[in-house]
Amino acid sequence: MDTVEKIVEDFASDIAMSPFSSGTRLRDMIRAIRACKTAAEERAVVRRECAAIRAAISENEPELRHRNMAKLMFIHMLGYPTHFGQMECLKLIAAAGFPEKRVGYLGLMLLLDERQEVLMLVTNSLKQDLNHSNQFIVGLALCALGNICSAEMARDLAPEVERLMRSREVNTKKKAALCSIRIVRKVPDLAENFMALATSLLKEKHHGVLISVIQLCTELCKANKDALEYLRKNCIEGLVRILRDVSNSSYAPEYDVAGISDPFLHIRVLKLMRILGQGDADCSEYMNDILAQVATKTESNKNAGNAILYECVQTIMGIEATSGLRVLAINILGRFLLNRDNNIRYVALNMLMRAITVDAQAVQRHRTTILECVKDADASIRKRALELVFLLVNDTNVKPLTKELVDYLDVADPDYKGDLTARICSIVEKFSQEKLWYLDQMFKVLSLAGNHVKDDVWHALIVVLSNASELQGYSVRSLYRALQAYGEQGSLVRVAVWCIGEYGEMLVNNVGMLEGEEPITVTESNAVDAAEVALNRSSRFPSTSERIKQIVAHNKENIALELQQRSIEFSSIMQRHQSIRSSLLERMPVLDEASYLVKRAATTQATISSEKPAPAVTPGGLKLPNGVAKPTAAPLADLLDLNSDVAPATTAASTTTAPSFFLQDLLGIGGTNSSMAGVPSSASTDILMDLLSIGSSPSQSGPLAPNFSPPGQAETKPVPAIPEAIDLLGSLSSSSSLSAETKPVPAIPQAMDLLDGLSSATSVSGLNNTAHPSITAFQSATLKITFDFKKQPGNPRETTIHATFTNLTSSTLTDFIFQAAVPKFVQLRLDPASGNTVPASGNGSVTQGLNVTNNQHGQKPLAMRIRMSYKVNGEDGLEQGQVSNFPSGL
């Protein structure tokens, strides 16, 4: 009750106040703000205060100025804009009195940063204050200059600061030294002016001055090579003396921290010694004794002592120390590593990472302890340890280390699995000496953390598998077994399904008639793949084809659009094209490992420099037999074009029509596929698809095409006869199972057209029931965004939206970012976009998946706010919009 009354009281007094006297005291304002129950109340109080302060500013009342400034600082800390008070800082600084200046400088440091032009206006006042007779005013000016000065101010005021370093006051001297650090950071050329002065100040006794000057020396060494040489010659003796004095000094209450005299000074000296001793044997020798003394004599039961030891070890590792000293340092680290204090272990791991370049052997000795740290409960320690393990791995210890890591993967935290998996995969890829071991480890990782495995990792695995003919049988069996136990791991399912599809007969021959169970073990999300696998099967295991027909028939009515479509396609293949089926479903050719690696390297580069326009493709680049998937509506014509390049064979046109239609369909090149074209950076996710070169448009595979020689099949043969023309495409059909996930769903009407009238009327109505029409979510002069929808079967709340961004202008949009916001009752997850560059004139597009869960499905319709930012011709662009035309029922 009290607080409520107080608020009311505050309110009343605030209203009663005349707008021209910002009457409340600082204390009262803080109290009023703290009494606010809601953010809205707080905003109201702040708004009132700000209004009063603005009024006072325009009235120009000097008496209230510094109280208002204090209020503004508090308001600023709460995160409200206070730019209108910036000029007040300057006025306060220009005032004569100390209280005004003190608050003014504080405001200057808090409300402004060095980028603001207002700051330049203060240079003159600063100059006057640096020359003031009162040391505290000089101190205020030095402090402000040291914390926020810009390069221009540094140049203007460096002579003043230099002069103040010679002052008799220790307070001024140390502040001037620290201020010079900022000056040297801003203008490294000025380092020369300070080096002689800094060296002479090392003779001081006052610790504050010493600490400041030693830090200045450290900064000078970083800024300027000459300064480094100069300090090596002139201050090493002084430093050794300072360190000896402070470490031998008797108890001094002023500097004592847990029984150690001034640990800060210790550490600063050790740090400078490291810089001076690095790569300089003479300097290093000079320090050896005192370093050994500090390393052995410092107590390590308190944080202060450990901080010194830590710095000392770093210095020993950094300089050209004797081997005895190095052993001492490594032993200290070993002790740190066994310490129960997490902080100490953390710094030990950190230090070992740097020590590994100096003495890898010594670090290897601590391997078991480090591995323990990988399993620590503390994420910071785990991260350090994992990085260290990664550095520790070599050819001899890779197997036990990987085993440990993989074993741990099973019990690791879910949020940690991603990191760990990435590390294990890169270790396994980097150090695999034999394929069997590599495959085994990869299968384990896929089983335990398949959901965290990156796409390129399992793509690489498939390439290896495809090349390792002697291990395919083993692999397919291992994967089959893994699949039964870990069916929920996405990447595992993908790899396993691919393998089973390709090498299924090896599974059957060795293990017996297990194949009937296979489609059942596959999770629903991958049923698309399963259906395709099943199709593959039917050509090779005639005995089970009846059963597969059933599955396909069953799936025809499936709720998932893509699955349904594929099923229909397959059934048509099975029913109508018995004659060509076996060649259509032939096993995939072996993937070219070398070109894959080249390509993988190239795509990583391409994503880095994705701004580069793709070079135009020469017709020669299209000699790929799989290059049919050009983004045109008539692939057949293309196919023939391609053929005619090699040998004219136009007579085949009429007879090949039917099969090529559904082939086109099978490959998913409806109208939407053209939207995939011309997105160079999408290559990373679609790499496998690229590899198979289906759906690869000229611009997509353009830069890479010369490196990529397709699997040797039907290359330059003239293609007059039908069976061979199909053969040419034969390799494509099986690959579509892999590309299915990365490809957009073809728009329904087109799919229907392309089905060549094969589908029955019932399936048409089935489609209409479950599917939602695509919408144009946004259209402006620059951008067009379309949404395609897909529903998760059995979960009406969830919708997968496939967004396609098309650029309508004639200049390329780079750095394209799409953001979306939804009401509270909706959950939204954005998948990564296929790229960040939208090519000009609708010449290709970027796609992105959105996953929306409407928690009030059926009660409230979906709505979304979207924002697109991009750069066009080097200028930033931003567009926003609201999508309210979602089809009903989402």
Partner 1 sequence: MIHFALLISRQGKVRLTKWYTPYPQKQRSKVIKEVSTLILARGPKLCNFVDWQGCRVVYKRYASLYFCMCIDPADNELETLQIIHHFVEILDRYFGNVCELDLIFNFHKAYFILDEILIAGELQESNKKAVLRLVTAQDSLVEAAKEEASSLSKIIAQATK
Q: Which stretch binds partner 1 (CB under 8 A): 97-105, 233-241, 679-687, 875-883?
A: 97-105
Chain position carrying tokens 């998946």: 849
**d(Cα 139, Cα 164) in Å, to the nearest integer?**
10
Instruction: Tell me how far, at minimum, the Cβ of 509 lies from partner 1, in Å.
Output: 52
Q: How far is the CB of 216 from partner 1 (least distance, A)?
A: 9
Shortest reach from residue 83's CB to partner 1, in Å:
8
Quick one: which segment of 342-350, 431-439, 516-524, 805-813 binds partner 1 (CB under 8 A)?
Answer: 342-350
**What minimum distance in Å lies between the beta carbon of 181 and partner 1?**
5
Least spacing, CB of residue 275 vs partner 1, in Å: 11
Nearest residue (CB) to partner 1, 586 versus 815: 815
| 541 makes contact with partner 1 (CB under 8 A) | no
Edge to edge, the sheet with strand 845-854 lists 775-779, 783-792, 795-807, 845-854, 826-830
Distance (Å, whole) CA 705 – CA 619: 11
Residues 621-650 that bind partner 1 (CB under 8 A): none
CB burial of residue 823 (10 Å; 0-12, 13-18, 19+): middle
> Using CB under 8 A, which of 12, 51, 77, 360 touches partner 1?
77
Q: How many residues bind partner 1 (CB under 8 A)?
A: 70
Helices marked H in 365-413 — which ranges?
A: 367-374, 379-392, 398-411
Q: Which two tokens stand for residue 170?
A: 């220790």
Does 690 participate in binding partner 1 (rule CB under 8 A)? no
Binding mask of the shown chain, residues 117 to 136, with x at each position contacting partner 1 by CB under 8 A: -------------------x
Which residue's structure tokens are 């999508």?
Answer: 883
Binding of partner 1 by 272 (CB under 8 A): no
HEC string for 569-629: HHHHHHHHCHHHHHHHCCCCCCCCHHHHHHHHHHHHHHHHCCCCCCCCCCHHHHHCCCCCC
In whole angstroms, give the CA distance from residue 701 to residue 703. 6
Q: Angle 784-790-796 (CA atoms, 0-180°, nearest 5)?
A: 130
The one among 85, 104, 238, 263 contacting partner 1 by CB under 8 A: 263
DSSP bridge partners of 871: 814, 876
- Cβ of residue 207: shortest distance to partner 1, in angstroms? 5
Determine, following the binding rule CB under 8 A, whether residue 255 of this chain makes contact with partner 1. Answer: yes
Binding pattern for the stretch 140-179 against partner 1, x by CB under 8 A and - elsewhere: --xx--xxx----------------------x--xx--xx
- Using N-to-C axis directions, what is the helix angle for 435-449 and 455-467, rounded to 10°? 140
User: Please, what is the minimum distance in Å from the beta carbon of residue 262 to partner 1?
Assistant: 5
Which residue from 22, 24, 298, 306 is in contact with partner 1, where contact means CB under 8 A?
A: 306
Q: How wide is the angle at C-alpha 851 spanned by C-alphas 849 and 853, nearest 5°?
A: 165
Task: State which of residues 110, 548, 580, 614 lies at the interface with partner 1 (CB under 8 A).
Answer: 110
List C-alpha distances in Å: 127 to 94, 124, 180, 615, 844.
11, 5, 15, 58, 59
- Scanning 12-20, 96-104, 537-545, 626-634 for contacts with partner 1 by CB under 8 A, the matching segment is 96-104
Among 103, 191, 195, 385, binds partner 1 (CB under 8 A): 103
By C-beta, is 178 or 813 nearer to partner 1?
Answer: 178
* Nearest CA among 302, 303, 329 for reference residue 315: 329
Binding of residue 215 to partner 1 (CB under 8 A): yes
Report the residue from 346, 431, 486, 498 that binds partner 1 according to the rule CB under 8 A.
346
d(CA 786, CA 776): 4
SS3 at position 770: helix
Of residues 79 and 512, the one with the C-beta less far from partner 1: 79
Cα separation, 492 vs 478, whole angstroms? 11
Rg (CA), the chain: 36
Using CB under 8 A as the binding rule, whether residue 257 contacts partner 1 is answered as yes
Contacting partner 1 (CB under 8 A), which of 380, 605, 650, 657? 380
Indicate whether 311 belongs to the interface with partner 1 (CB under 8 A): yes
Nearest CB to partner 1, comparing residues 108 and 803:
108
Residue 505 is a binding residue for partner 1 (CB under 8 A): no
**Contact indicator for 277, 224 with CB cutoff of 8 Å:** no
Closest contact distance (angstroms) between CB of 413 and partner 1 is: 13
**Runs of H (alpha helix) within 17-150:** 26-35, 39-59, 62-77, 86-94, 98-111, 123-130, 135-148
Rounded to whole angstroms, how far apart are CA atoms 394 and 399? 9
Interface residues with partner 1 (CB under 8 A) are 27, 30, 34, 70, 73-74, 77-79, 97-99, 102-103, 106, 109-110, 113-115, 136, 139, 142-143, 146-148, 171, 174-175, 178-179, 181-182, 185, 207-208, 211-212, 215, 254-255, 257, 262-265, 267-268, 271, 303-304, 306-307, 310-311, 314, 342-347, 350, 377-381, 383
